[in-house]
Structure 1
Protein backbone atom coordinates (compact mmCIF):
# COMPACT_ATOMS: atom_id res chain seq x y z
CA UNK A 1 0.00 0.00 0.00
CA UNK A 2 1.23 3.50 -0.86
CA UNK A 3 -0.28 6.42 1.03
CA UNK A 4 0.22 10.15 0.57
CA UNK A 5 -1.42 11.80 3.58
CA UNK A 6 -0.28 11.85 7.23
CA UNK A 7 -3.70 10.66 8.40
CA UNK A 8 -3.76 7.71 6.01
CA UNK A 9 -0.19 6.85 6.98
CA UNK A 10 -0.89 6.75 10.71
CA UNK A 11 -4.01 4.63 10.19
CA UNK A 12 -2.18 2.16 7.95
CA UNK A 13 0.89 2.08 10.22
CA UNK A 14 -1.26 1.26 13.27
CA UNK A 15 -2.99 -1.55 11.39
CA UNK A 16 0.19 -3.35 10.32
CA UNK A 17 0.58 -6.75 11.96
CA UNK A 18 4.03 -7.31 13.46
CA UNK A 19 6.70 -9.04 11.40
CA UNK A 20 8.48 -12.01 12.91
CA UNK A 21 12.15 -12.92 12.55
CA UNK A 22 12.99 -9.76 10.61
CA UNK A 23 16.37 -8.11 11.07
CA UNK A 24 16.09 -4.37 11.74
CA UNK A 25 19.69 -3.63 10.76
CA UNK A 26 21.90 -4.83 7.93
CA UNK A 27 23.92 -8.04 8.21
CA UNK A 28 26.77 -6.39 6.25
CA UNK A 29 27.54 -3.27 4.25
CA UNK A 30 29.57 -2.23 1.23
CA UNK A 31 31.28 0.98 0.19
CA UNK A 32 32.78 2.33 -3.04
CA UNK A 33 36.21 3.87 -2.53
CA UNK A 34 36.93 7.26 -4.09
CA UNK A 35 39.28 7.26 -7.07
CA UNK A 36 40.63 10.64 -8.23
CA UNK A 37 37.85 12.17 -6.12
CA UNK A 38 36.29 15.26 -7.70
CA UNK A 39 33.00 17.17 -7.65
CA UNK A 40 30.56 16.67 -10.53
CA UNK A 41 28.88 19.83 -11.81
CA UNK A 42 25.93 17.78 -13.05
CA UNK A 43 25.24 16.44 -9.57
CA UNK A 44 25.59 19.93 -8.10
CA UNK A 45 22.78 21.26 -10.29
CA UNK A 46 20.14 19.99 -7.86
CA UNK A 47 22.18 19.38 -4.70
CA UNK A 48 22.18 22.42 -2.41
CA UNK A 49 24.81 20.80 -0.16
CA UNK A 50 27.50 21.01 -2.85
CA UNK A 51 29.72 24.02 -3.50
CA UNK A 52 31.63 23.74 -6.76
CA UNK A 53 33.93 26.56 -5.64
CA UNK A 54 35.53 24.31 -3.02
CA UNK A 55 38.83 22.59 -3.77
CA UNK A 56 39.03 18.90 -2.93
CA UNK A 57 41.94 16.74 -1.82
CA UNK A 58 41.62 13.25 -3.39
CA UNK A 59 44.13 11.64 -1.05
CA UNK A 60 42.45 13.06 2.05
CA UNK A 61 39.08 11.81 0.78
CA UNK A 62 40.56 8.35 0.26
CA UNK A 63 42.05 8.31 3.77
CA UNK A 64 38.78 9.41 5.37
CA UNK A 65 36.88 6.78 3.41
CA UNK A 66 39.27 4.03 4.56
CA UNK A 67 38.87 5.18 8.16
CA UNK A 68 35.09 5.01 7.74
CA UNK A 69 35.21 1.42 6.49
CA UNK A 70 37.42 0.40 9.39
CA UNK A 71 35.18 2.10 11.95
CA UNK A 72 31.98 0.52 10.64
CA UNK A 73 33.51 -2.95 10.93
CA UNK A 74 32.91 -2.65 14.67
CA UNK A 75 29.22 -3.27 13.96
CA UNK A 76 29.08 -5.48 10.85
CA UNK A 77 31.24 -6.91 8.06
CA UNK A 78 32.17 -4.23 5.51
CA UNK A 79 33.29 -4.75 1.92
CA UNK A 80 34.96 -1.94 -0.04
CA UNK A 81 34.88 -2.05 -3.82
CA UNK A 82 37.63 -0.14 -5.63
CA UNK A 83 36.93 3.28 -7.07
CA UNK A 84 36.63 4.09 -10.76
CA UNK A 85 38.34 7.18 -12.11
CA UNK A 86 35.62 7.54 -14.78
CA UNK A 87 33.15 8.28 -11.99
CA UNK A 88 35.25 10.46 -9.66
CA UNK A 89 32.39 11.42 -7.33
CA UNK A 90 31.04 7.87 -7.01
CA UNK A 91 31.34 7.51 -3.25
CA UNK A 92 27.61 7.27 -2.45
CA UNK A 93 26.60 3.74 -3.57
CA UNK A 94 23.39 3.61 -1.54
CA UNK A 95 21.68 5.76 -4.17
CA UNK A 96 22.60 3.32 -6.95
CA UNK A 97 22.63 -0.10 -5.25
CA UNK A 98 20.50 -1.46 -2.43
CA UNK A 99 19.30 -4.83 -1.20
CA UNK A 100 16.35 -6.69 0.20
CA UNK A 101 16.82 -10.28 1.40
CA UNK A 102 18.00 -12.26 -1.63
CA UNK A 103 17.72 -9.29 -3.98
CA UNK A 104 20.07 -6.64 -5.40
CA UNK A 105 18.22 -3.54 -6.56
CA UNK A 106 19.85 -1.19 -9.06
CA UNK A 107 18.46 2.33 -9.10
CA UNK A 108 17.46 4.67 -11.88
CA UNK A 109 19.60 7.76 -11.37
CA UNK A 110 18.62 11.19 -12.62
CA UNK A 111 22.01 12.36 -13.87
CA UNK A 112 24.11 10.68 -16.57
CA UNK A 113 27.25 10.96 -14.42
CA UNK A 114 25.53 8.81 -11.78
CA UNK A 115 23.86 6.48 -14.30
CA UNK A 116 27.31 5.23 -15.29
CA UNK A 117 27.77 3.85 -11.78
CA UNK A 118 24.79 1.54 -12.22
CA UNK A 119 26.64 -0.37 -14.93
CA UNK A 120 29.43 -1.61 -12.63
CA UNK A 121 29.81 -5.31 -13.33
CA UNK A 122 31.90 -6.03 -10.24
CA UNK A 123 29.10 -5.03 -7.86
CA UNK A 124 26.43 -6.81 -9.87
CA UNK A 125 28.55 -9.96 -10.28
CA UNK A 126 29.40 -10.08 -6.59
CA UNK A 127 25.75 -10.24 -5.65
CA UNK A 128 24.76 -12.57 -8.48
CA UNK A 129 27.70 -14.98 -8.47
CA UNK A 130 28.93 -14.87 -4.87
CA UNK A 131 25.74 -14.27 -2.89
CA UNK A 132 23.27 -15.70 -5.40
CA UNK A 133 21.01 -12.67 -5.24
CA UNK A 134 18.31 -11.99 -7.81
CA UNK A 135 18.85 -8.69 -9.63
CA UNK A 136 16.03 -6.14 -9.92
CA UNK A 137 17.30 -3.57 -12.41
CA UNK A 138 15.48 -0.25 -12.43
CA UNK A 139 18.36 1.47 -14.23
CA UNK A 140 17.11 0.37 -17.66
CA UNK A 141 13.71 1.99 -17.14
CA UNK A 142 13.03 5.35 -18.75
CA UNK A 143 9.67 6.05 -17.13
CA UNK A 144 10.90 6.90 -13.65
CA UNK A 145 13.62 8.32 -11.41
CA UNK A 146 14.37 6.17 -8.36
CA UNK A 147 17.52 6.91 -6.35
CA UNK A 148 16.97 4.07 -3.89
CA UNK A 149 17.87 4.60 -0.24
CA UNK A 150 18.74 8.22 -0.89
CA UNK A 151 15.10 8.93 -1.74
CA UNK A 152 13.62 6.07 0.29
CA UNK A 153 14.29 5.65 4.02
CA UNK A 154 13.19 2.18 5.11
CA UNK A 155 12.10 0.78 8.45
CA UNK A 156 13.25 -2.78 7.81
CA UNK A 157 11.74 -4.07 11.05
CA UNK A 158 8.25 -3.20 9.80
CA UNK A 159 8.59 -3.23 6.01
CA UNK A 160 7.69 0.47 5.83
CA UNK A 161 9.24 3.00 3.48
CA UNK A 162 9.34 6.80 3.65
CA UNK A 163 9.75 8.22 0.17
CA UNK A 164 10.45 11.90 -0.45
CA UNK A 165 9.57 13.21 -3.90
CA UNK A 166 12.06 15.54 -5.56
CA UNK A 167 14.05 15.75 -8.78
CA UNK A 168 15.75 12.52 -7.62
CA UNK A 169 12.53 10.48 -7.21
CA UNK A 170 9.13 10.78 -8.87
CA UNK A 171 5.85 8.98 -8.19
CA UNK A 172 6.63 6.24 -10.71
CA UNK A 173 10.00 5.74 -8.99
CA UNK A 174 8.30 5.48 -5.62
CA UNK A 175 6.00 2.76 -6.97
CA UNK A 176 8.91 0.90 -8.55
CA UNK A 177 10.90 0.94 -5.29
CA UNK A 178 7.88 -0.06 -3.22
CA UNK A 179 7.61 -3.20 -5.36
CA UNK A 180 11.36 -3.85 -5.65
CA UNK A 181 11.93 -3.77 -1.89
CA UNK A 182 8.76 -5.74 -1.19
CA UNK A 183 7.47 -3.12 1.24
CA UNK A 184 4.16 -3.46 3.04
CA UNK A 185 3.57 0.28 3.34
CA UNK A 186 5.17 3.33 1.72
CA UNK A 187 4.46 6.88 2.87
CA UNK A 188 5.07 9.16 -0.12
CA UNK A 189 5.41 12.94 0.33
CA UNK A 190 7.11 15.94 -1.31
CA UNK A 191 10.35 17.23 0.15
CA UNK A 192 10.82 20.94 0.70
CA UNK A 193 12.00 22.97 -2.26
CA UNK A 194 15.74 22.55 -2.71
CA UNK A 195 16.01 19.22 -0.89
CA UNK A 196 17.25 16.36 -3.03
CA UNK A 197 17.22 13.22 -0.86
CA UNK A 198 15.10 12.01 2.04
CA UNK A 199 18.08 10.52 3.85
CA UNK A 200 19.46 14.00 4.50
CA UNK A 201 16.33 15.02 6.41
CA UNK A 202 15.28 11.69 7.97
CA UNK A 203 17.01 8.70 9.56
CA UNK A 204 15.34 5.72 11.20
CA UNK A 205 17.36 3.96 13.87
CA UNK A 206 16.80 0.18 14.08
CA UNK A 207 13.04 0.69 13.97
CA UNK A 208 13.07 2.38 17.40
CA UNK A 209 13.60 6.08 16.85
CA UNK A 210 13.95 8.77 14.20
CA UNK A 211 16.19 11.72 13.45
CA UNK A 212 14.12 14.39 11.72
CA UNK A 213 14.90 17.75 10.09
CA UNK A 214 11.38 19.21 9.87
CA UNK A 215 12.28 22.03 7.48
CA UNK A 216 13.24 19.41 4.90
CA UNK A 217 9.59 18.47 4.30
CA UNK A 218 7.11 20.48 2.23
CA UNK A 219 4.31 19.72 4.73
CA UNK A 220 5.08 20.04 8.45
CA UNK A 221 2.39 17.45 9.20
CA UNK A 222 4.53 14.75 7.56
CA UNK A 223 7.48 14.73 10.01
CA UNK A 224 5.00 15.17 12.88
CA UNK A 225 3.19 11.99 11.78
CA UNK A 226 6.45 10.07 11.43
CA UNK A 227 7.50 11.10 14.93
CA UNK A 228 4.12 10.06 16.30
CA UNK A 229 4.46 6.62 14.67
CA UNK A 230 7.64 6.07 16.69
CA UNK A 231 6.13 7.09 20.00
CA UNK A 232 7.62 10.60 19.70
CA UNK A 233 11.12 9.13 19.91
CA UNK A 234 12.33 11.73 17.46
CA UNK A 235 15.46 13.84 17.52
CA UNK A 236 14.44 17.18 15.99
CA UNK A 237 17.20 18.94 14.05
CA UNK A 238 17.67 22.63 13.43
CA UNK A 239 18.44 23.86 9.89
CA UNK A 240 22.09 24.29 10.90
CA UNK A 241 22.28 20.71 12.21
CA UNK A 242 20.71 19.45 9.00
CA UNK A 243 23.32 21.40 7.02
CA UNK A 244 25.98 19.63 9.10
CA UNK A 245 24.48 16.31 7.92
CA UNK A 246 23.17 15.26 11.35
CA UNK A 247 20.18 13.72 9.54
CA UNK A 248 22.41 11.62 7.28
CA UNK A 249 22.92 8.92 9.90
CA UNK A 250 22.56 5.15 10.05
CA UNK A 251 22.29 2.38 12.62
CA UNK A 252 24.17 -0.78 11.63
CA UNK A 253 23.46 -2.40 14.97
CA UNK A 254 20.82 -2.05 17.66
CA UNK A 255 23.15 -0.09 19.95
CA UNK A 256 24.88 2.55 17.81
CA UNK A 257 24.08 5.35 15.38
CA UNK A 258 26.81 6.41 12.96
CA UNK A 259 27.22 9.94 11.62
CA UNK A 260 30.05 12.17 10.49
CA UNK A 261 32.17 13.95 13.07
CA UNK A 262 30.81 17.32 11.92
CA UNK A 263 27.28 16.01 12.39
CA UNK A 264 28.07 14.69 15.87
CA UNK A 265 29.64 17.99 16.90
CA UNK A 266 26.46 19.78 15.84
CA UNK A 267 24.30 17.87 18.34
CA UNK A 268 23.40 19.37 21.70
CA UNK A 269 24.00 17.61 25.01
CA UNK A 270 20.24 17.10 25.34
CA UNK A 271 20.12 15.39 21.95
CA UNK A 272 23.01 13.14 22.87
CA UNK A 273 21.24 12.21 26.09
CA UNK A 274 18.04 11.45 24.15
CA UNK A 275 19.88 9.06 21.85
CA UNK A 276 21.50 7.38 24.85
CA UNK A 277 18.10 7.03 26.47
CA UNK A 278 16.84 5.21 23.40
CA UNK A 279 19.80 2.84 23.59
CA UNK A 280 22.15 4.36 21.00
CA UNK A 281 25.79 5.28 21.36
CA UNK A 282 27.16 7.70 18.77
CA UNK A 283 29.87 6.60 16.38
CA UNK A 284 31.53 9.43 14.46
CA UNK A 285 34.09 9.61 11.65
CA UNK A 286 35.70 12.68 10.08
CA UNK A 287 34.29 13.00 6.55
CA UNK A 288 34.52 16.71 5.79
CA UNK A 289 36.41 16.10 2.53
CA UNK A 290 33.80 13.67 1.23
CA UNK A 291 30.97 15.91 2.44
CA UNK A 292 32.06 18.47 -0.16
CA UNK A 293 30.35 16.14 -2.67
CA UNK A 294 26.97 16.86 -1.06
CA UNK A 295 26.46 13.74 1.03
CA UNK A 296 27.77 12.26 4.24
CA UNK A 297 28.17 9.02 6.15
CA UNK A 298 24.84 7.37 5.47
CA UNK A 299 25.17 8.09 1.73
CA UNK A 300 28.49 6.21 1.72
CA UNK A 301 26.95 3.01 3.10
CA UNK A 302 25.03 0.48 1.03
CA UNK A 303 23.40 -2.07 3.30
CA UNK A 304 23.32 -5.82 2.67
CA UNK A 305 20.23 -7.60 3.98
Structure 2
Protein backbone atom coordinates (compact mmCIF):
# COMPACT_ATOMS: atom_id res chain seq x y z
CA UNK A 1 0.00 0.00 0.00
CA UNK A 2 1.13 3.52 -0.80
CA UNK A 3 -1.31 6.25 0.12
CA UNK A 4 -1.91 9.79 1.28
CA UNK A 5 -4.80 8.60 3.46
CA UNK A 6 -3.61 8.66 7.06
CA UNK A 7 -6.41 6.48 8.41
CA UNK A 8 -5.89 3.88 5.69
CA UNK A 9 -2.16 3.79 6.37
CA UNK A 10 -2.58 3.46 10.12
CA UNK A 11 -5.19 0.73 9.80
CA UNK A 12 -2.64 -1.41 7.99
CA UNK A 13 0.48 -0.33 9.86
CA UNK A 14 -0.98 -1.00 13.30
CA UNK A 15 -1.58 -4.61 12.36
CA UNK A 16 1.98 -5.26 11.23
CA UNK A 17 4.44 -7.14 13.36
CA UNK A 18 8.07 -5.97 13.55
CA UNK A 19 9.15 -8.97 11.48
CA UNK A 20 9.97 -7.37 8.13
CA UNK A 21 13.70 -7.50 8.74
CA UNK A 22 16.45 -6.24 11.03
CA UNK A 23 15.55 -2.93 12.66
CA UNK A 24 19.06 -1.56 12.16
CA UNK A 25 21.71 -1.92 9.48
CA UNK A 26 24.42 -4.59 9.43
CA UNK A 27 27.00 -2.18 7.97
CA UNK A 28 27.32 1.44 6.90
CA UNK A 29 29.02 3.35 4.10
CA UNK A 30 30.25 6.92 3.82
CA UNK A 31 31.70 9.12 1.08
CA UNK A 32 34.54 11.46 2.02
CA UNK A 33 33.94 15.22 1.66
CA UNK A 34 36.73 15.76 -0.87
CA UNK A 35 36.24 19.12 -2.58
CA UNK A 36 33.63 20.12 -0.01
CA UNK A 37 32.21 23.49 -1.01
CA UNK A 38 28.94 25.28 -1.71
CA UNK A 39 26.94 23.51 -4.42
CA UNK A 40 24.84 26.34 -5.78
CA UNK A 41 22.27 24.06 -7.43
CA UNK A 42 21.57 22.30 -4.13
CA UNK A 43 21.44 25.60 -2.28
CA UNK A 44 18.47 26.63 -4.42
CA UNK A 45 16.13 24.42 -2.36
CA UNK A 46 18.11 23.71 0.83
CA UNK A 47 17.70 26.52 3.32
CA UNK A 48 20.03 24.80 5.78
CA UNK A 49 23.14 25.41 3.64
CA UNK A 50 25.65 28.04 4.62
CA UNK A 51 27.02 30.71 2.33
CA UNK A 52 30.20 29.89 0.42
CA UNK A 53 32.42 31.52 3.06
CA UNK A 54 31.01 29.15 5.68
CA UNK A 55 32.61 26.05 4.10
CA UNK A 56 35.87 24.69 5.53
CA UNK A 57 37.00 21.60 3.61
CA UNK A 58 39.86 20.72 5.96
CA UNK A 59 37.67 20.89 9.07
CA UNK A 60 34.87 18.96 7.34
CA UNK A 61 37.33 16.24 6.34
CA UNK A 62 38.69 15.94 9.87
CA UNK A 63 35.19 15.71 11.34
CA UNK A 64 34.17 13.15 8.73
CA UNK A 65 37.17 10.96 9.62
CA UNK A 66 36.14 11.15 13.27
CA UNK A 67 32.61 10.11 12.30
CA UNK A 68 34.05 7.13 10.42
CA UNK A 69 36.15 6.10 13.41
CA UNK A 70 33.20 6.43 15.77
CA UNK A 71 30.77 4.44 13.66
CA UNK A 72 33.36 1.73 13.04
CA UNK A 73 33.26 0.96 16.77
CA UNK A 74 29.63 -0.08 16.36
CA UNK A 75 29.40 -1.75 12.94
CA UNK A 76 31.53 -2.29 9.82
CA UNK A 77 31.81 1.06 8.07
CA UNK A 78 33.26 1.61 4.59
CA UNK A 79 34.29 5.05 3.34
CA UNK A 80 34.57 5.73 -0.39
CA UNK A 81 36.75 8.49 -1.78
CA UNK A 82 35.06 11.77 -2.60
CA UNK A 83 35.13 13.65 -5.88
CA UNK A 84 35.70 17.41 -6.07
CA UNK A 85 33.25 17.52 -8.98
CA UNK A 86 30.44 16.34 -6.70
CA UNK A 87 30.64 18.47 -3.54
CA UNK A 88 27.43 17.01 -2.04
CA UNK A 89 28.61 13.41 -2.33
CA UNK A 90 29.27 13.16 1.41
CA UNK A 91 25.49 12.66 1.73
CA UNK A 92 25.30 9.28 -0.09
CA UNK A 93 22.09 8.02 1.49
CA UNK A 94 20.17 10.19 -1.00
CA UNK A 95 21.71 8.34 -3.95
CA UNK A 96 22.17 4.73 -2.78
CA UNK A 97 19.94 2.64 -0.54
CA UNK A 98 19.70 -1.05 0.25
CA UNK A 99 17.24 -3.72 1.22
CA UNK A 100 17.78 -7.44 1.63
CA UNK A 101 19.71 -8.65 -1.40
CA UNK A 102 19.33 -5.48 -3.45
CA UNK A 103 20.56 -1.95 -3.83
CA UNK A 104 18.69 1.01 -5.28
CA UNK A 105 20.14 3.98 -7.15
CA UNK A 106 18.03 7.10 -6.79
CA UNK A 107 17.14 9.90 -9.19
CA UNK A 108 18.52 13.16 -7.84
CA UNK A 109 16.87 16.46 -8.66
CA UNK A 110 19.98 18.53 -9.37
CA UNK A 111 22.45 17.68 -12.17
CA UNK A 112 25.42 18.15 -9.82
CA UNK A 113 24.06 15.31 -7.69
CA UNK A 114 22.95 13.16 -10.61
CA UNK A 115 26.65 12.60 -11.31
CA UNK A 116 26.94 10.69 -8.05
CA UNK A 117 24.63 7.94 -9.31
CA UNK A 118 27.23 6.98 -11.90
CA UNK A 119 29.86 6.00 -9.32
CA UNK A 120 31.23 2.74 -10.75
CA UNK A 121 33.11 1.89 -7.55
CA UNK A 122 30.05 2.13 -5.31
CA UNK A 123 27.94 0.16 -7.77
CA UNK A 124 30.69 -2.47 -8.01
CA UNK A 125 30.82 -2.70 -4.22
CA UNK A 126 27.13 -3.53 -4.00
CA UNK A 127 26.86 -5.66 -7.13
CA UNK A 128 30.26 -7.33 -7.18
CA UNK A 129 31.35 -7.54 -3.55
CA UNK A 130 27.98 -7.95 -1.83
CA UNK A 131 26.32 -9.63 -4.85
CA UNK A 132 23.24 -7.43 -4.50
CA UNK A 133 20.78 -7.07 -7.37
CA UNK A 134 20.57 -3.56 -8.83
CA UNK A 135 17.42 -1.46 -9.15
CA UNK A 136 18.42 1.68 -11.04
CA UNK A 137 15.97 4.57 -10.82
CA UNK A 138 18.52 7.19 -11.79
CA UNK A 139 17.60 7.47 -15.47
CA UNK A 140 13.82 7.83 -15.15
CA UNK A 141 12.42 11.39 -14.90
CA UNK A 142 10.86 11.43 -11.41
CA UNK A 143 12.99 12.70 -8.51
CA UNK A 144 13.31 10.16 -5.72
CA UNK A 145 16.12 10.97 -3.31
CA UNK A 146 15.86 7.70 -1.40
CA UNK A 147 16.33 7.81 2.37
CA UNK A 148 16.53 11.58 2.35
CA UNK A 149 12.92 11.74 1.18
CA UNK A 150 11.81 8.38 2.58
CA UNK A 151 12.19 7.58 6.28
CA UNK A 152 11.82 3.84 6.78
CA UNK A 153 10.81 1.72 9.75
CA UNK A 154 12.84 -1.32 8.76
CA UNK A 155 11.37 -3.55 11.46
CA UNK A 156 7.84 -3.20 10.07
CA UNK A 157 8.61 -2.44 6.43
CA UNK A 158 6.79 0.88 6.38
CA UNK A 159 7.84 4.29 5.12
CA UNK A 160 7.05 7.97 5.54
CA UNK A 161 7.74 9.84 2.32
CA UNK A 162 7.82 13.62 2.25
CA UNK A 163 6.95 15.15 -1.10
CA UNK A 164 8.93 18.13 -2.29
CA UNK A 165 11.00 19.16 -5.28
CA UNK A 166 13.32 16.29 -4.28
CA UNK A 167 10.61 13.60 -4.53
CA UNK A 168 7.28 13.57 -6.38
CA UNK A 169 4.43 11.06 -6.04
CA UNK A 170 5.68 8.81 -8.82
CA UNK A 171 9.16 8.89 -7.34
CA UNK A 172 7.66 7.83 -4.01
CA UNK A 173 5.91 4.88 -5.69
CA UNK A 174 9.10 3.82 -7.40
CA UNK A 175 11.02 3.82 -4.10
CA UNK A 176 8.21 2.00 -2.32
CA UNK A 177 8.30 -0.74 -4.93
CA UNK A 178 12.08 -0.91 -5.20
CA UNK A 179 12.54 -1.33 -1.45
CA UNK A 180 9.63 -3.76 -1.20
CA UNK A 181 7.86 -1.89 1.57
CA UNK A 182 4.56 -3.05 3.02
CA UNK A 183 3.08 0.43 3.36
CA UNK A 184 4.18 4.00 2.67
CA UNK A 185 2.46 7.20 3.77
CA UNK A 186 3.01 10.08 1.37
CA UNK A 187 2.92 13.44 3.11
CA UNK A 188 3.62 17.09 2.40
CA UNK A 189 6.61 18.74 3.97
CA UNK A 190 6.33 22.31 5.21
CA UNK A 191 7.42 25.03 2.79
CA UNK A 192 11.19 25.32 2.83
CA UNK A 193 11.84 21.72 3.87
CA UNK A 194 13.68 19.58 1.36
CA UNK A 195 14.09 16.12 2.96
CA UNK A 196 12.01 14.12 5.40
CA UNK A 197 15.05 12.81 7.25
CA UNK A 198 15.80 16.31 8.54
CA UNK A 199 12.45 16.44 10.34
CA UNK A 200 11.81 12.77 11.20
CA UNK A 201 13.88 9.84 12.46
CA UNK A 202 12.53 6.39 13.21
CA UNK A 203 14.87 4.74 15.69
CA UNK A 204 15.21 0.93 15.58
CA UNK A 205 11.48 0.60 14.92
CA UNK A 206 10.45 1.58 18.42
CA UNK A 207 10.83 5.36 18.75
CA UNK A 208 10.59 8.49 16.64
CA UNK A 209 12.07 11.97 16.70
CA UNK A 210 9.60 14.37 15.10
CA UNK A 211 9.98 18.04 14.20
CA UNK A 212 6.37 19.28 14.00
CA UNK A 213 7.39 22.44 12.15
CA UNK A 214 8.72 20.37 9.27
CA UNK A 215 5.31 19.02 8.23
CA UNK A 216 2.56 20.78 6.34
CA UNK A 217 -0.23 18.99 8.22
CA UNK A 218 -0.59 18.70 11.98
CA UNK A 219 -2.60 15.52 11.40
CA UNK A 220 0.49 13.79 10.04
CA UNK A 221 2.51 14.75 13.11
CA UNK A 222 -0.25 13.47 15.38
CA UNK A 223 -0.51 10.21 13.45
CA UNK A 224 3.22 9.45 13.56
CA UNK A 225 3.47 10.46 17.21
CA UNK A 226 0.50 8.28 18.07
CA UNK A 227 1.92 5.32 16.19
CA UNK A 228 5.24 5.44 18.08
CA UNK A 229 3.77 6.39 21.46
CA UNK A 230 4.95 6.32 24.19
CA UNK A 231 8.36 6.80 22.55
CA UNK A 232 7.57 9.68 20.20
CA UNK A 233 9.68 12.75 20.90
CA UNK A 234 8.33 16.04 19.58
CA UNK A 235 11.26 18.38 19.02
CA UNK A 236 11.17 22.15 19.46
CA UNK A 237 12.00 24.66 16.76
CA UNK A 238 15.46 25.12 18.30
CA UNK A 239 16.11 21.36 18.30
CA UNK A 240 14.86 21.16 14.72
CA UNK A 241 17.17 23.98 13.59
CA UNK A 242 20.14 22.22 15.20
CA UNK A 243 19.50 19.01 13.18
CA UNK A 244 18.28 16.93 16.13
CA UNK A 245 15.77 15.32 13.78
CA UNK A 246 18.62 14.17 11.51
CA UNK A 247 19.53 11.25 13.74
CA UNK A 248 19.97 7.51 13.27
CA UNK A 249 20.04 4.31 15.30
CA UNK A 250 22.70 1.90 14.08
CA UNK A 251 22.09 -0.54 16.90
CA UNK A 252 19.25 -1.17 19.27
CA UNK A 253 20.77 0.70 22.17
CA UNK A 254 22.07 4.03 20.84
CA UNK A 255 20.99 7.00 18.78
CA UNK A 256 23.56 9.03 16.87
CA UNK A 257 23.35 12.74 16.13
CA UNK A 258 25.76 15.64 15.77
CA UNK A 259 27.25 17.33 18.81
CA UNK A 260 25.38 20.51 17.89
CA UNK A 261 22.09 18.60 17.77
CA UNK A 262 22.71 16.94 21.11
CA UNK A 263 23.62 20.25 22.74
CA UNK A 264 20.26 21.63 21.62
CA UNK A 265 18.27 18.75 23.12
CA UNK A 266 16.05 19.69 26.02
CA UNK A 267 16.20 17.66 29.25
CA UNK A 268 12.77 16.27 28.37
CA UNK A 269 13.98 15.05 24.97
CA UNK A 270 17.03 13.43 26.53
CA UNK A 271 14.87 11.74 29.13
CA UNK A 272 12.47 10.50 26.44
CA UNK A 273 15.32 8.90 24.48
CA UNK A 274 16.66 7.27 27.62
CA UNK A 275 13.18 6.01 28.40
CA UNK A 276 13.06 4.37 24.99
CA UNK A 277 16.31 2.54 25.78
CA UNK A 278 18.75 4.69 23.82
CA UNK A 279 22.08 6.07 24.85
CA UNK A 280 23.09 9.25 23.04
CA UNK A 281 26.27 9.24 20.94
CA UNK A 282 27.59 12.32 19.22
CA UNK A 283 30.29 13.55 16.87
CA UNK A 284 31.12 17.22 16.17
CA UNK A 285 29.95 17.95 12.62
CA UNK A 286 29.49 21.70 12.49
CA UNK A 287 31.68 22.05 9.38
CA UNK A 288 29.74 19.35 7.56
CA UNK A 289 26.43 20.91 8.58
CA UNK A 290 27.38 23.92 6.47
CA UNK A 291 26.44 21.65 3.55
CA UNK A 292 22.82 21.51 4.66
CA UNK A 293 22.79 18.06 6.21
CA UNK A 294 24.00 16.39 9.37
CA UNK A 295 24.94 12.98 10.72
CA UNK A 296 22.12 10.89 9.34
CA UNK A 297 22.60 12.37 5.87
CA UNK A 298 26.21 11.19 5.88
CA UNK A 299 25.35 7.56 6.63
CA UNK A 300 24.36 5.04 4.00
CA UNK A 301 22.97 1.83 5.46
CA UNK A 302 23.64 -1.73 4.34
CA UNK A 303 20.81 -4.15 5.12
1:33 is aligned to 32
| Residues 1:11 and 2:11 are matched in the alignment | yes
Residues 1-305 of structure 1: matches in 2 within 5 Å? 1-16=1-16, 18-20=17-19, 22-142=21-141, 144-305=142-303
SS in 2 for 1:235: strand
Deviations 1:219-249 (A, max 9, x none): 0110110111112311111112111000000
- Does the Cα contact within 8 Å between 2:20 and 2:156 map onto a contact in 1? no
CA–CA separation in structure 1 for the residues paired with 2:85 and 2:201: 31
- RMSD, matched Cα: 1.0
Between 67-76 and 40-49, report the one with greater CA deviation. 67-76
User: Kindly tell me: are residues 9 and 79 of structure 1, through their superposed partners in 2, closer, same or farther at Cα, counting changes over 3 Å?
Assistant: same
- Does the Cα contact within 8 Å between 1:30 and 1:79 map onto a contact in 2? yes
Question: TM-score if structure 1 supplies the norm length?
Answer: 0.97
Structure 1: 5+ residue stretches without partners? none
The alpha carbon displacement at 1:20 in A equals 3.4
Structure 2: 5+ residue stretches without partners? none
SS in 1 for 2:251: coil
User: Kindly tell me: are residues 214 and 21 of structure 1, through their superposed partners in 2, closer, same or farther at Cα, counting changes over 3 Å?
Assistant: closer
- Does the Cα contact within 8 Å between 2:55 and 2:291 map onto a contact in 1? no
* Number of corresponding residues: 303
- Does the Cα contact within 8 Å between 1:202 and 1:212 map onto a contact in 2? yes
CA–CA separation in structure 2 for the residues paired with 1:223 and 1:277: 21
CA–CA separation in structure 1 for the residues paired with 2:75 and 2:234: 27
CA–CA separation in structure 1 for the residues paired with 2:227 and 2:74: 27
Between 50-59 and 146-155, report the one with greater CA deviation. 50-59
CA–CA separation in structure 2 for the residues paired with 1:44 and 1:68: 24
The alpha carbon displacement at 1:19 in A equals 4.8
Deviations 1:252-282 (A, max 9, x none): 0000000000000000112111111110000
Question: TM-score if structure 2 supplies the norm length?
Answer: 0.98
Deviations 1:21-59 (A, max 9, x none): 721000000000011211101000000101225332111
CA–CA separation in structure 2 for the residues paired with 1:20 and 1:87: 38
CA–CA separation in structure 1 for the residues paired with 2:143 and 2:29: 23
SS in 2 for 1:204: strand
CA–CA separation in structure 2 for the residues paired with 1:222 and 1:5: 10
CA–CA separation in structure 1 for the residues paired with 2:137 and 2:80: 21
